[in-house]
Amino acid sequence: MRTLRWGLVGASDVAATRIIPAMRRLGHQIAGVSSISDEHAAGYAQRHEIPYFTSNIDVLVSRDDVDAVYVSTINRLHYPYTLSAAAAGKHVLCEKPVALNLPDAWAMVRACESAGVVFAVNHHLPCAATHREIRRILADGAVGRPLGVRVFHAVQLPERLATWRLHDPAAGAGVPLDITVHDAAVVNPLLGRPVDAIALGVRQGPWDAAVDDAIMSVLRYEGDVLVQTHDAFTVAYAGTGLEVHGVDGSIVATDVMTQEPVGTVVLRDATGERELDIPDRRDMYEVALEAFARAVEEKSEPAVTGVDGVRALAVALAVQEAASSGRCVPVVTEPVAEG
């Protein structure tokens, strides 16, 4: 499998804790990093043994030793930085949410298509072995026609991340763009087209948050399948999970909405209850990076395409608007014609 030379756009926590280690385990090279200042970029480069740093993204993406860029800045910068990378002819792996609004997100897709570069969104959960198995057995008819889905994704926000995610709406703060968007990246491939959303949000954490830090939502998907989510920054001990209930059975997956390759998947039907064997419990970031490199080499699709990322964003934005307005909000998953 081809290895890539990467430019890191953003000196982020997720890059440090997940992506850089995964890249190096796969033999990929990290050519350089850009950040908000030379001082910040220099410190990050030194800590992670990256040979080049800059505060100018255009300089980084124009380098001949960069094949692809990983964009993990604050959310509001995903849009301009992806456009810069595409204009330089670099393949793009962008953190979620892909953008802060749908017009920008679709513009990112179009820019990468026009430039002929791969565009992927770093939703890790679809790459987990548990979720790959759930998609497989659901497609094989394990539970028959789906009727409802429950997602439990209420967690405790780590103290080191309790910064702009709580206090800066303009940067993309809040639970929908941080957690609900991950739910959608999992549920959309299972059910197809989301139709509309209702939601309630509150601020219940031990901080002075400028945004809702806990939200419950109900979404309707095509075929009148209902999806219930509980997403929060405030719950320390609940664990996470995903349930899919159909006319012929239920899938109950526990501890699967995490960054670790863990969790169990149980199938219940008329024959009883059994835990499924989950092979290939690899690091899901490695799976995503391998799929990205394969897409570059073979012109195939990455694990989560740019369009997949936009449609996950559409769900999160609808939930966010529903919680703030008290209305039932349509989920717009296709580009709106201009003019």
Exposed, middle or buried: residue 40 (CB in 10 Å: 0-12, 13-18, 19+)?
middle
Identical fold for domains 5-124+284-304 and 129-280+316-330, yes or no, is no
Determine the residue type at 86.
Answer: A
Strand partners, 120: 93, 305
Q: What residue segments make up the domains of the chain, in order of their start?
A: 5-124+284-304, 129-280+316-330
What does CATH list as the number for 129-280+316-330?
Answer: 3.30.360.10
> What would the pLDDT profile of 152-175 be if each residue is shown by its tens digit?
999 999 888 888 889 888 888 899
Exposed, middle or buried: residue 132 (CB in 10 Å: 0-12, 13-18, 19+)?
middle
Query: What does the alpha-carbon distance between residue 281 and residue 135 come to, in Å, rounded to a whole number?
Result: 15
**Structure tokens that stand for 318 in this block:** 């609808």
CATH architecture of residue range(s) 5-124+284-304: 3-Layer(aba) Sandwich (3.40)
Are 28 and 5 within 8 A, CB to CB? yes
Q: Give pLDDT tens digits along the chain (339 positions).
A: 689 999 999 999 999 999 999 999 999 999 999 999 999 999 999 999 999 999 999 999 999 999 999 999 999 999 999 999 999 999 999 999 999 999 999 999 999 999 999 999 999 999 999 999 999 999 999 999 999 999 999 999 988 888 888 988 888 889 999 999 999 999 999 999 999 999 999 999 999 999 999 999 999 999 999 999 999 999 999 999 999 999 999 999 999 999 999 999 999 999 999 999 998 899 999 999 999 999 999 989 999 999 999 999 999 999 999 999 999 999 999 997 654
Question: What is the pTM for the complete model shown?
Answer: 0.95
> What would the pLDDT profile of 263-318 be if each residue is shown by its tens digit?
999 999 999 999 999 988 999 999 999 999 999 999 899 999 999 999 999 999 99
State residue 261's pLDDT score. Answer: 96
Give the closest residue to 14 by CA, choosing from 182, 133, 188, 265: 182
Query: What does the alpha-carbon distance between residue 53 and residue 42 come to, in Å, rounded to a whole number?
Result: 6
